[in-house]
Structure 1
């Protein structure tokens, strides 16, 4: 359930930003860095955009290719899957090659994110949109606190490091720091959303509720409303290339 909610919320927020920046019907050049199974990349290809997905995990690449193989020819022709990661953008692509660059759920695995972000910003054409989904470093105490792990919650106030559900030691990002970074690389923050305010602690394998649309409406409203969005598990930040 968490993943379904996250993907749907990010899709709605991304569509809102694209609609506000580009003419209706324009075929955009999209780069999805760390595309995973290709959920957002494939959705944008279905919408008529030219999409390049960059991924380094062979299992994820294979899963994305299997899904793409089942799509109509026109969609298959609009989506390209490449092996690589955010550090490789300058090797594969020329500066200004894309209208939209996605980097969702990737920065938490990057020890030094600033060079990666600078590379992503260079890929954007003038007025292009940079879409980042990151773990919210200002709210790391929320998850252990809601689980009743009081020692873990107390420790989370002092760090941006955490262990994710798969057992990997990763890192979170604070919104103020990312805002400063985006300004410094020429893609200042345009708007931001919270993702996963009420569903972050849903159990693994939780079924979708019968009133899924109501759940999504609540999460969507909270994700753009203070103070709720500030305590979300994830942040969706949208910068614009100046």
Structure 2
């Protein structure tokens, strides 16, 4: 779902066929990085978890040489991008599933925006702080749901204490760093309670169509588990 949304934003901002310079901060096992490299973009991935780096390198090793040459992996923290790169070095910067682990996200987001060339796209995927009561409420965990209304802190499925971001707050942050919000989507509107490793349903195309529509439509996208925000560097 996020990939479709990202492709839509890229297609709307850059000429068809242009090879983009992409920075993927918190690249994980490299899913997005490899996908973008396969369509011709030059991708630099930053990751600090050795296990994820090993998985990304293993996945990359199975790709043709032309794709391998388009991917660079750097071990590091997303907060030190200024050490590795000059300002304006990238056309697209991704930061998906990272901000929830950062206690003070504003400096990180500002640093990412500085990496963008004018007109560049900043793509953030965050936990929706305005909908933290949804998951425990749907599970019938009323005490946790009630407490979730007044906080942006939560415990994720890995048992880690992390934080969420509110749409209004991030919109103000993006405006303040010169990469104002251009578009936003909801992600996992109806599927957030699906168990990890659940079997793919037979009507998966219908499921994806519903999620795609809901992720673009109020009021549904406002109660999605995740928010996908796209800012554009002025």
Matched with 2:29 is 37
**Distance in 2 between residues matched to 1:23 and 1:147, nearest whole Å:** 45
Q: TM-score, normalised by structure 1?
A: 0.96
Q: TM-score, normalised by structure 2?
A: 0.99
Cα RMSD (Å): 0.4
Matched with 2:150 is 158
* Partner of residue 98 from structure 1, selected from 90, 95, 110: 90
Matched with 2:212 is 220
* Partner of residue 205 from structure 1, selected from 179, 191, 197: 197
Q: Deviation digits for residues 154-191 of structure 1, max 9, x if unmatched? A: 00000000000000000000000000000000000000
**Distance in 1 between residues matched to 2:175 and 2:124, nearest whole Å:** 14
Matched with 1:6 is none
**Distance in 1 between residues matched to 2:195 and 2:20, nearest whole Å:** 37
Report the more deviating stretch, 16-25 or 204-213: 204-213
**Structure 2 unaligned regions, length at least 5:** none
Q: How many residues matched?
A: 234
Q: Quote the offset at 1:46 in angstroms.
A: 0.3
Name the SS for the 1:139 alignment partner.
Answer: coil
**Distance in 2 between residues matched to 1:38 and 1:70, nearest whole Å:** 12
* Partner of residue 126 from structure 1, selected from 108, 118, 121: 118
Q: Quote the offset at 1:204 in angstroms.
A: 2.3
2:149 maps to 1:149: no
Aligned ranges 1:62-141 → 2 under 5 Å: 62-141=54-133
Q: Quote the offset at 1:212 in angstroms.
A: 1.1
Name the SS for the 2:189 alignment partner.
Answer: coil
Name the SS for the 2:231 alignment partner.
Answer: strand
Q: Quote the offset at 1:203 in angstroms.
A: 1.5
Once superposed, which parts of structure 1, at least 4 consecutive aligned residues long, lie more than 4 Å away? none
Name the SS for the 1:138 alignment partner.
Answer: coil
**Distance in 2 between residues matched to 1:126 and 1:156, nearest whole Å:** 38
**Structure 1 unaligned regions, length at least 5:** 1-8
* Partner of residue 162 from structure 2, selected from 165, 170, 173: 170
* Partner of residue 48 from structure 1, selected from 40, 49, 60: 40
Q: Quote the offset at 1:85 in angstroms.
A: 1.7
